[in-house]
Every structure is written in structure tokens, then in C-alpha cells.
Amino acid sequence: MSDFAMDASLAEPARRSWFSTRFPWWGWAVALVLIFATSILGVEFAPTHSSVAVWWPAAGLSVLLVLVVRTRREQVWALGAILLTTALANVVAGRPPLVAAAFGVANALEALVVLAVLLSLGRGDPTLRTLAAAARFVLAVVCGAIVIGALAGSTVAVLDGVSFFPTAALVAASHAAAVLMIAPFGLLPPPLPVRATVTEMVVQAAILAGVIGLVFHPSVHLSLSFIPYPVLAWASFRFPIRVVVTETLLASVAMLGLTIAGGGPYNLPSLDFAQRAGLAEVFLVTFAGFAVVLATAQYELRASNRRLVATSRLLSGSLVEAAVGLLIAERSETGSLCIVWSNRTAAELLPSDGGTLWDGPIADAARAALAGAGSVTLPSGERTLTVAANPIPDEADRFAVQLVDVTETLRLQAATLAAQQAQEAAHSTRIDLERQRGDFVATTSHELRTPITSIIGFCELLADGDSLGSEERSWIEVIGRNAARLGSLVEDLLTLSAADGKSEGGARQDVDLDAQIDQTIGELSVVAAKKRIALRVDGRAGVAVADAADVGRILTNLLSNAVKFTPEGGTVTVSASASGTTATIVVSDTGPGMSEDELAHAFDRFYRAPGMERAAVPGTGLGLAIVAALVERNQGSVRLASGPGGGTRATVELMRTT
């Protein structure tokens, strides 16, 4: 691969905006100096007694300048600079000022015509990317040559009295040759990869130089001007367009120089110098035009191939290659199928029998899918394939087939289904175990309630009698106290069991929350007084829709917890409020508060904070769980919060009577 090759992974080089950046100041200076110098040289090397030059490279440089500048404003400045520079050069070279001015105007008009034709036909992008662009460029050069020929012929006919047509023809040919040789450098597209090596380019250039030396040698006058064309075609087909344009310019200058020196097939004795030069110019026009058109056509072909390769890779490679098998099947007159193309994945998915015909279950599935059955899924060895097919437009005997290996997908679906079934079975088992546990707790609690009531009753009878001594009486008190605790635990368990069974408890009715708060405060006032804890009530909550017994139990559990965990001398506050359809009760204390982890588990059954366990604070860990269950079955909500300075806030919200 040559140094001119680019990354072949790109389908096509990025297009640049034609009017994008400003032309540098030094570029202006170089361009105008070259135009001025080549204009003087063109006049100096004009034939004797001729008013026009044999070759006018300033024309090619002028068109190149208006092509390489990128803005409309710069192009206007370029045309003005061309006019002044070429006119001044003609004056310096010795031409009359009037003739020089006319030639300056003619040179600027030629550049303007070439630019106008290119932009009007090329829709703003005249770069040599396509054969059509090359044809537009050649047409623009011809139009510019006709204009400059007509203007130059008219100028010399009017001012010098020279015949119009010979002058116009010579000027048109010389300018067209110069523009075709030089101007393409301003229209070069982004480079594309080529397979030619530098060695091949050097060999081709040497052969072309040898051919030119042979054909245009002063001692050779045979008509062999066609020989350079095949060598130039070699370059056009194999080399980057930049190399072809450069080689064409150098070869054309060499051939023109050898012709002027007296060599080549156009130096016939019957022709004068101007005629020989004119024929050479016409030859150079065809030579340069041939190179531009052929090299541009090859560039377009390379770009099309790159796009085709990129599309093919997109269809049969990368992600699609790894997931989808693609093939094209062809039907014979007998109805049998054969595969005319397939990607690698399709070849791996299809069983290989070494034959040219395609038959079997997958082929039958493809026929069914093509007939309108949609995609067909079928087993194929250890795999499971989904087969889809669709007709190819304008190809009645061919259709496209897509093969997708869904083995892993089906396996994952089966595994997911099995996991879901196992999860559902486990959930059913858990629900059944929960029900059995609830039934056991409820049954056991009911069975324990009667003997516990009997124990408490007989303890009270024994305590009321006079036959017991002080020691026996203390025993009776211990039995009664623990029996009462056991009875409270049984009631808690029954409450939770009822909540688990979604029991609605008592009848929901209007409950005076403020009366319930006052009653609960009164019941706990004796316990609070023993710890010198102040019980306060703020606000009024009004009436809520709930079960009165449930509300009493909720308030009792919350206030009991607050008094239990508040140190001596603390305060427990009940704040009540009502807003819209919600009645809110907030129980706050000045206790030690709860950590984030304790708050997260506060409503769990039998949960007790580690600190309370260590301090041996009595309790079963069911109080808040009962609160949560009772609030939920009364269609309310409860939440706990604890600030960084200590203290806990329990907020209960119930539906308010409207």
C-alpha cells in the first residue's frame, strides 16, 4: 500500500464545505507573483510577428486562484487582482497599454466564466468526485476558452488588424490546455486508498518519460502521439488522482517544450511555427482532458466500491454477523432451492451435506415463511432456529432468508419460567405456613385466656382472705402480677392474629379522639407521676372514623412506650390537630431517641432495641407492631421519627369525619 492510502474502514471521505475558510495572505502573494511572472514569460515566448502567446500558463493559475479561495468576496477580489496583474504584466512585457488592458479583462472574464459554469452546474461543490463533475469541469474550461478566444481575437483584429479566426483558435487552445493542466489542483477531492505502490508509480513515470522522449524527440517526426495515452491510462486507473494530475502537468509541459524545440509529430515542414504550436495545444487539451476525466471516473469507482464494502460489512459483519445468518436462495424451474450467497453465520447454522441443492427442514421452513406463514421456529440438531424469508424486488426466482439461533433465548425463557414457578410455589408455601402459624397462635391464645383468667381470679380471692401470712401474701402478689403480664401478652397475640386475618375489629364509627386522649392520659397519670413525668396535651383532633377500642389500644401503647422510655423528670406531649379529611395525633417524648437502624425495625414483631435489652427494660416487643396493625386496619398511617438531640415522635393519621 502506498503512502497515499488512507484508512480503508471509512466508506467515503468526509465532504468539506466549499466556502469554509479564508485564503491566507501569503497564498495571495504567491499566486499573484506566479500569474505576473508566467504572463511575462508567455509574451516573451510568443512567436515572431504574433500578438498572442503559444501557451498561457497564467490562465491556469488564474482559474486555480478563483477555485482555491473560499468565499464569494475573496473570489471577487481574485478576479480584480487577475485583471490588474495580467494587464500590468502585458504592459511590462512590451504590449501597448490598450491591448494589455483588453487582455487583462479577457483573462478575468475567462476565470469568471469557468467559475460560474462550475458552480451553476455543480450545485456548489465542483470538486472532482464524480464523472459528472469532471464533465462539468471540461465544459467550463471549453466555455472559458471560447470566451477568451473571442475576446483576444476581437482585440487583435481591431487594434492590430490581425485575422480573427486564427488568433481566436490559437488563444482558445493555449488557454484551454493551461487550465486543464493546472486548475484541477484546486478541485482535488479527499484522497482514497489505492493498491499501487511507490515503486509502481516510479516505474510508470519512467516509462511515460521514455515514451515522451521517443515520440517528441527532435529527430523523430512519426505520427506516434497516441502512444502516451495508454501509459497515462495506467496512472489514471491505478494511482491517486493527485499523482495523475501532477504527472499530466509535467508531461504536458515536457511535450510542449519538445514541440517548441522542433521535435514531435507536429513539426511538419508545411506548417509554420504558430500552426505547429496550435496543433500541439490541441493535442495537450485532449491529453489533459483525457487524464482528468479518466482519473475522476476511477476515483468515483473507488468511492462506490468503498461504500459497497461498508454496506456489505454492515449487512454481513459486526453485530449482525454474530447474531443473524443471512443467505440468498434461488428457485429452479423444478422448485428445488440452491444457496447463491450466505454470510458466515448462516454457513455455521446450516447443516453441511456437500451438495449444491438446499433441502431439508430449514429449507421447508424458509418456503413456508416466504409463503406468508411469518417466522418459523424449528429444532435443528442441538439448536433451535427461527427462520424468516422475504422476496427480493425484481428477482422473481430469488429470495432472502434470515436465520436466528434462539436456543439460548428459549433456554433463558424456560429457566425464567421455572424460577417464576418456584417462586410462586415458595410464596404459596409461605402463605400457608403463615396461616398455620396464625391459626396456632390464635388457638393457643384462646386456650390460654381461660386458665389465665382463673389464675388471676383465684389470686384476687386469696389476697382478699385473712388466712394468709405476709410471706404467703407476697407469693400471691407475684403470681397475680405475672399472670397479668401473661394475660397482656395473650391479648397482644390475639390482636396481631386478628390483624393478620384482616379482621375489621369492632364496628367503625365516629370516635371522639380528644376524649380518647384524655381518658388514656388519666389511666397513665399514676404511672407517670411515679417517675415525675409531665403529661401534656396540645390542640384538638376532633372526631375520626375508626374503631373506638382500636383507638384506645393505639393511644395506650404509644403513651405507655413514651412513659416507659422517658427518664424521670421528662415530658410526654400529645399534640392533636385536624386538617381536611385527616386527624393527626403526635406522641413525643424526651427520651434517648432511636437510631436509624432501630427506627427501621421498630414495627417488627418482637423487636427490642439493643439498649433496652441491656438495660433490662421490661417488654415483649409487640407494642409498636400492634399499633401498626391497628392503624392499618382502620385505614390510617403511622410513622416514627427521632431527632439528633434525642426524643421520639410517633405520628398517627386517621380518617376524619367530614
Which of the given ranges, 209-223, 451-465, 539-553, has the highest pLDDT on average? 539-553
In this predicted structure, the answer to whether residue 39 has a pLDDT above a threshold of 50 is yes
Q: How many CB atoms are located within 10 Å of the residue 95 CB?
A: 19
Our separate counts of H helices and E strands in the chain read 20, 13
Q: What are the grid coordinates assigned to 130, written together? A: 464524480
Please give the C-alpha separations between residue 508 and each of 545, 546, 633, 657, in angstroms, as whole numbers: 6, 5, 10, 11
In this predicted structure, the answer to whether residue 480 has a pLDDT above a threshold of 60 is yes
Helix (H, G, I), strand (E, B) or coil at 409: helix
3-state secondary structure string across 52-72? CCCCCHHHHHHHHHHHHCCCH
Position 383 scores a pLDDT of 87
Delineate the domains of the chain, giving CATH numbers in brackets. 1-16+190-313 (no CATH), 19-184 (1.10.1760), 318-405 (3.30.450), 410-500 (1.10.287.130), 509-655 (3.30.565.10)
CB half-sphere exposure, 276, CA atoms < 13 A: 23
Q: What is the mean pLDDT of residues 117-134?
A: 82
Tell me the pairing of strands 534-538 and 571-579.
Answer: parallel
pLDDT in tens, 151-189: 888 887 887 777 788 788 888 888 999 999 999 998 899
354 or 34, higher pLDDT: 34
pLDDT in tens, 511-554: 898 998 998 888 888 888 888 999 999 988 888 998 888 888 88
Position 231 scores a pLDDT of 92
579 or 643, higher pLDDT: 579
Q: What is the mean pLDDT of residues 95-102?
A: 87
- Report yes or no: 349 and 405 within 8 Å, Cβ to Cβ: yes
Fill in the DSSP letter of residue 188.
Answer: P
**Interhelix angle 25-44/57-68, nearest 10 degrees:** 160
Q: Indicate the pLDDT class of residue 355, thresholds 50, 70 and 90.
A: low
113-120 contacts at long range (C-beta below 8 A, 24 or more positions apart): 113/140, 113/143, 113/144, 113/147, 114/63, 114/66, 114/140, 114/141, 114/143, 114/144, 114/179, 114/183, 115/63, 115/66, 115/67, 115/75, 115/140, 117/143, 117/144, 118/67
Please give the C-alpha separations between residue 449 and each of 384, 437, 484, 487, 523, in angstroms, as whole numbers: 65, 18, 11, 7, 24
Beta bridge partners of 357: 338
Position 312 scores a pLDDT of 67
CB half-sphere exposure, 438, CA atoms < 13 A: 15
Record the pTM: 0.52
Report the alpha-carbon distance of residue 528 to residue 371 in Å, rounded.
88
Burial (0-12, 13-18, 19+ Cβ within 10 Å), 206: exposed
In this predicted structure, the answer to whether residue 449 has a pLDDT above a threshold of 80 is no
Report the alpha-carbon distance of residue 66 to residue 79 in Å, rounded.
7
pLDDT in tens, 286-313: 999 999 999 999 999 988 888 877 766 6
Position 4 scores a pLDDT of 35
Sheet of 383-392, strand order: 357-358, 337-342, 324-331, 395-405, 383-392, 376-380
Instruction: State the chain's mean pLDDT as an integer.
Output: 82
Residue 1, C-beta contacts closer than 8 angstroms, at least 6 positions apart: 193, 194, 195, 197
Residues of 238-275 as b/e, b for ≥16 C-beta within 10 angstroms? bbbbebbbbbbbebbeebbebbbeebbbbbeeeeeebe
Q: Indicate the pLDDT class of residue 619, thresholds 50, 70 and 90.
A: low
Q: How many CB atoms are located within 10 Å of the residue 457 CB?
A: 12
Report the alpha-carbon distance of residue 59 to residue 284 in Å, rounded.
15
Q: Indicate the pLDDT class of residue 47, thresholds 50, 70 and 90.
A: low
pLDDT in tens, 549-573: 888 888 888 898 888 888 899 999 9
Position 18 scores a pLDDT of 42
Sequence-ordered alpha helix ranges (H) in 501-651: 513-530, 548-565, 596-601, 610-614, 623-633
Position 445 scores a pLDDT of 65
Residue 193, C-beta contacts closer than 8 angstroms, at least 6 positions apart: 1, 4, 5, 6, 7, 8, 302, 306
Q: What is the mean pLDDT of residues 190-204?
A: 90
- Report yes or no: 313 and 11 within 8 Å, Cβ to Cβ: no
Report the alpha-carbon distance of residue 84 to residue 103 in Å, rounded.
10
Residue 331, C-beta contacts closer than 8 angstroms, at least 6 positions apart: 337, 397, 398, 399
Report the alpha-carbon distance of residue 652 to residue 554 in Å, rounded.
9
- The amino acid that residue 336 corresponds to is S
Report the alpha-carbon distance of residue 452 to residue 458 in Å, rounded.
10
**Interhelix angle 470-500/623-633, nearest 10 degrees:** 40
Position 11 scores a pLDDT of 41
Report the alpha-carbon distance of residue 290 to residue 229 in Å, rounded.
8
Determine what percent of the chain falls in helix, strand and coil, rounding each to the nearest 5: 60, 15, 25
Cα 408 to chain centroid distance, Å, stands at 28
Position 8 scores a pLDDT of 36
Q: Percent of the chain, pLDDT > 70?
A: 84
Q: Looking at 343-493, which runs of residues are DSSP E strands?
A: 357-358, 376-380, 383-392, 395-405
Residue written as cell 406468508?
372
Q: Indicate the pLDDT class of residue 324, thresholds 50, 70 and 90.
A: confident
Q: What are the grid coordinates assigned to 86, written together? A: 495580467
524 or 491, higher pLDDT: 524
Report the alpha-carbon distance of residue 356 to residue 295 in Å, rounded.
42
- Report yes or no: 127 and 137 within 8 Å, Cβ to Cβ: no
